[in-house]
Amino acid sequence: MKRLLLFVMMCASISFVFAQKKGDKISKVITSEIKWWGHKVVKTKPTSHYGSLKLKSGKFTFDKTVLVDGEFVIDMRSLIVADLSGDDQVKLTNELKGTNFFEVKKFPTAKFHLKKIIPLANSEYNSTIVGDITIKGIRKTISFPANAHITQFTVEIESSKFSLNRKDFKIFYQNSLKDYFIKDEMDIQFKLSTQKVDNERPL
C-alpha cells in the first residue's frame, strides 16, 4: 500500500512538472511609450494639452509560435502633463488624477487585453488591433490601426493616434458647465517592443 501511494505521488509530481513546462511561451514588454492628448471643443494649440503615461507591466502569450493574446497594465498614477510647467502643470495633473477624471487613488491602473491582430493590405498601417480596455473599472471593446511586426516570440507595435470617448468611462466634471467645453474624444498613441522570457521566470 505504501509503495502504491508513493507511486501515485511520484506520478502526480511528474504531471505537475510537465504541466509547468508545457504550453505557452511568454514575451515580456521591455520598452514602451504611451502618449495622450485632450482638447477643448474649440480645438486649437492653446486649448489642447498632452502628456504621457507609463506601462506598469505587459506581456504577449504564444502557443508555440502563434500569438494568442496580450495583456497590459497601465500605471495611471504616472500620468504627466507635458505641455505645461510650474504651478499650471501641477494643477492640471492633480485635476486629471482627481475625482472628476481618472480617480487614480481608487483606480490606480487601467488595463488592455489584446484579443486579435487583423492584417491590413494597402494601408498606412499593416494591422487592426482589437481588444478590451478597462478604465475606472469600465470595460469597452475597441479597435485601432497599428503597425505590428511579429517574429518568433518577439512583438513590436506602434499604434496610430486613436480616440476614446471619455464619457464611456465616466471621465467628466460632475455638475459643472466646464465639462461642455471639453471634447468627449481623448486621443491615445503608443509603441512597445518585447523580449521572450522563460516560462518559469515571474513577470
pTM for this entry: 0.82
- Which has more pLDDT, 22 or 64? 64
Identify the weakest region by mean pLDDT among 22-26, 145-149, 155-159. Answer: 22-26
What the block records as the C-alpha cell of 44 is 486649437
pLDDT at 20: 29
- Which has more pLDDT, 61 or 196? 61
Per cent of the chain over pLDDT 70 is 84
pLDDT at 99: 92
- C-alpha to C-alpha distance for 35 and 47, rounded to whole angstroms: 17
* Band of pLDDT at residue 179, cut at 50, 70 and 90: confident
Mean local confidence (pLDDT), 121-148: 95
* Residues ≥6 apart with Cβ < 8 Å to 40: 47, 48, 181, 182, 183
- C-alpha to C-alpha distance for 79 and 195, rounded to whole angstroms: 25
pLDDT at 129: 97
pLDDT for 156-174, tens place per residue? 999 999 999 999 999 998 7
Q: Domain 25-194, what architecture?
A: Beta Barrel (2.40)
Mean local confidence (pLDDT), 136-152: 96
Across-strand partners of 138? 135
Distances in Å between the Cα of 21 and the Cα atoms of 7, 9, 16, 196, 198 are: 21, 19, 9, 15, 10
What is the per-residue DSSP string for 138-178? EEEEEEEEEEEEEETTEEEEEEPPEEEEGGGGT-S-SS-GG
pLDDT for 77-94, tens place per residue? 999 999 999 999 999 999
Mean local confidence (pLDDT), 138-147: 98
pLDDT at 152: 82
Residues making up the chain, counted from first to last: 203
pLDDT at 173: 85
pLDDT exceeds cutoff 80 at 13: no
